A and B are shown apart, each in its own frame.
Chain A
Amino acid sequence: MKMDAEAIRAASPPRLDVAALRRDFPILAERVNGKPLVYLDNAATTQKPASVIDALDAYYRHRNSNVHRGVHTLSQRATDDYETARARIARFIGGVATEEVIYTSGTTGGLNLVAQSYARTVLRQGDDVVVSALEHHSNIVPWQLVCAQTGASLKVVPVNDAGEIEMDAYERLLGPRTKIVAFTHVSNALGTITPIDRVIRLAHEAGAIVVVDGAQAIAHVGVDVRALDCDFYAFSGHKIFGPTGTGVLYGKAAILDAMPPYQGGGDMIRSVTFEKTEYNDLPYKFEAGTPNIAGAIGFGAAIDYVERVGVGAIAAYEDELLAYATRRMEAIPGLRIIGTAAHKAAIVSFTLDGVHAHDVGTILDNEGIAVRAGHHCAMPVMERFGISGTARASFALYNTFDEIDALVAGIERVQRMFG
């Protein structure tokens, strides 16, 4: 099996200069428990390149002030950078209008915005919201809340043993009652890439609008929201090398225009009297209060970084890492990969016979290897597979084949300890 793995490595040399890219990420030089850090928890959050860290530093040193307010120079600089970052993100997700790019605190913030501002207004008793059995809690709970508020029902599309959406069941669930379809683009627990374009087309044929949870997809597959024709697409900055506490909700302008504001406050108004408040234009109508200005600018720098490396090259390299990791891990007796979909992105979730995921996580950490252990905020996925949790290795552009070898050696050490 090692021969097979060697063959994969020889046959597909990385197209990225990974050694050079690794130098862009200062934290990768860290040592953990006396070992070089092997960071395989990228689905939880990615590390940040120096260009992003520098953008935050430069903002606080040279530009710090509030946006859309002052006539003074610093405010103008901050506003310019904040809006330039928005334009970069708008271009990155398929060349949408900047008014359709709403800054949020992250994917969760975006999904809750849609649930409370859009769904709560349109849902009635007897309506259906359709989600998949792959969803993260962030794409379940906001819909449960709004269903309880409106009397609508939550319907769940099952997944098969490989962790793929059962599309026949999805088609059967769709009907005149379906008002909203909320699906993940890539499963955070299993790595499944869902057939989101078909999901969207079928939902639109049924007259429903589609909300896509793009938290995992954004850094791993090229996202073009215009080609997808989704109505909303929510993602986070920190999962694509940007700062934590940043995110974007893309929404079609016509739908956003018709929606009431999510939160009231500064920046989202045009004029306020005690009798009547006039709301600001898009996207500001949905950005109440002083935003995460530094974070948004850092988010823009992260998008810049990804574009320089190239989304296609990143995806191709990660596919090679995934294929290599899958091949090597499949060969470990007693290891079961959870999620074996034909289309996957950068995630290997697994269980070991007789060993709890927490113990796997602790022992791997002792080797400097960071993986996630637990239910990955997707307890229904764990339930579907009859397990309480998994250990999850998730990759990014800076991971190497050697790091996967270290992971495999670490797993073998776990097995020897529990032997």
Chain B
Amino acid sequence: MTTDLRELYQEVIFDHYKRPRNNRTLTKANRHAQGHNPLCGDQVTIYLKIEDGIIEDVTFEGSGCAIATASASMMTEALKGRRIDDVEKLFHGFHDMVTSAPDASTPSLGKLDALRGVREFPARVKCATLAWHTLQAALRAQENPVSTE
């Protein structure tokens, strides 16, 4: 097995894949969006409960590969309690981490760093970013209760 593959499939990735966190519908959500990867047909739904500009709760539903599932799971953990104004910066930080080579100025994203191995596998970048793109769509969506849609 190459080092690259070990970097991609770290224990923490398997852990989130096998026991995804916040993997449920959020009945109190006031934003949500569905994303899908046309290459593989995988789908994910992101639910957000936002109060006063703060992400009070965030969950996801859907099934995907280890990378997509772990990424969605880890994203929900990273988002809880954050200000929505900070999300854009986090999104770009994550996107840069999984698409380009790191340099000295690359900031750590904490636990999300476990997904940095994805950058050696261009075909899998879409798996890692699916939940994040869906998050952006949810944040841009009208603030409507999920139940009425």
A residues with a Cβ closer than 8 A to B are: 33-34, 354-359, 362-363, 366, 373-375, 379, 382, 388-389, 413, 417-418
B104 interface residue per 8 A CB criterion: no
Residues of A with C-beta under 8 A to B123:
362
Residues of A with C-beta under 8 A to B5:
362-363, 366
Question: Which of A359, A375, A388 is the one whose CB lies under 8 Å from B67?
Answer: A359
Separation of A366 and B39 alpha carbons in the complex (Å): 20
Q: List 10 A-B contacts (CB under 8 A).
A: A33-B2, A355-B66, A356-B65, A358-B65, A358-B67, A366-B4, A374-B41, A388-B40, A389-B40, A413-B1
Question: Which of A354, A355, A373, A418 is the one whose CB lies under 8 Å from B40?
Answer: A373
- In the complex, are the beta carbons of A359 and B2 less than 8 A apart? no
B residues with a Cβ closer than 8 A to A are: 1-2, 4-5, 8-9, 14, 18, 39-42, 63-68, 121, 123-124, 127
Separation of A39 and B65 alpha carbons in the complex (Å): 23
Separation of A418 and B70 alpha carbons in the complex (Å): 13
- In the complex, are the beta carbons of A356 and B66 less than 8 A apart? yes
Residues of B with C-beta under 8 A to A357:
40, 65
- In the complex, are the beta carbons of A362 and B124 less than 8 A apart? yes
* Chain A, Cβ-Cβ closest to B4: A366
- In the complex, are the beta carbons of A358 and B127 less than 8 A apart? yes
- In the complex, are the beta carbons of B40 and A417 less than 8 A apart? no
Number of A-B contacts defined by CB within 8 Å: 53
- In the complex, are the beta carbons of A374 and B40 less than 8 A apart? yes
Residues of B with C-beta under 8 A to A362:
5, 8, 121, 123-124
CB distance from B66 to the nearest CB of A (A): 5
Separation of A359 and B8 alpha carbons in the complex (Å): 10
* Chain A, Cβ-Cβ closest to B123: A362
Residues of A with C-beta under 8 A to B66:
355-356, 359, 418
Separation of A418 and B8 alpha carbons in the complex (Å): 13
Q: Which of A356, A357, A374, A388 has the most CB of B within 10 A?
A: A356
Given known contacts A362-B123, A374-B39, A388-B40, A34 and B67 CB-to-CB distance under 8 angstroms: no
Question: Which of A374, A375, A417 is the one whose CB lies under 8 Å from B9?
Answer: A417
Separation of A356 and B44 alpha carbons in the complex (Å): 15
- Extra contacts, 16 of them, besides A362-B121, A375-B41, A389-B41 (Cβ < 8 A), are A33-B2, A34-B2, A355-B66, A358-B64, A359-B9, A359-B66, A362-B5, A362-B8, A363-B9, A366-B5, A373-B40, A379-B41, A382-B41, A388-B41, A388-B63, A418-B14
CB distance from A353 to the nearest CB of B (A): 12
CB distance from B16 to the nearest CB of A (A): 13
Separation of A358 and B68 alpha carbons in the complex (Å): 10
* Chain A, Cβ-Cβ closest to B62: A388
Given known contacts A382-B41, A388-B63, A418-B14, A358 and B2 CB-to-CB distance under 8 angstroms: no
CB distance from A23 to the nearest CB of B (A): 28
* Chain B, Cβ-Cβ closest to A375: B41
Separation of A413 and B2 alpha carbons in the complex (Å): 13
* Chain A, Cβ-Cβ closest to B69: A356
CB distance from A138 to the nearest CB of B (A): 15
Residues of B with C-beta under 8 A to A388:
40-42, 63
CB distance from B81 to the nearest CB of A (A): 30
Residues of B with C-beta under 8 A to A375:
40-41
Separation of A64 and B14 alpha carbons in the complex (Å): 55
Residues of B with C-beta under 8 A to A373:
40
Residues of A with C-beta under 8 A to B121:
362
Residues of B with C-beta under 8 A to A389:
40-41
- In the complex, are the beta carbons of B124 and A358 less than 8 A apart? yes
Residues of A with C-beta under 8 A to B42:
356, 388
Q: Which of B41, B63, B121 has the most CB of A within 10 A?
A: B41
Separation of A373 and B124 alpha carbons in the complex (Å): 12
* Chain B, Cβ-Cβ closest to A418: B14
- In the complex, are the beta carbons of A366 and B2 less than 8 A apart? yes
Residues of A with C-beta under 8 A to B18:
354
Separation of A374 and B126 alpha carbons in the complex (Å): 14
* Chain A, Cβ-Cβ closest to B66: A359
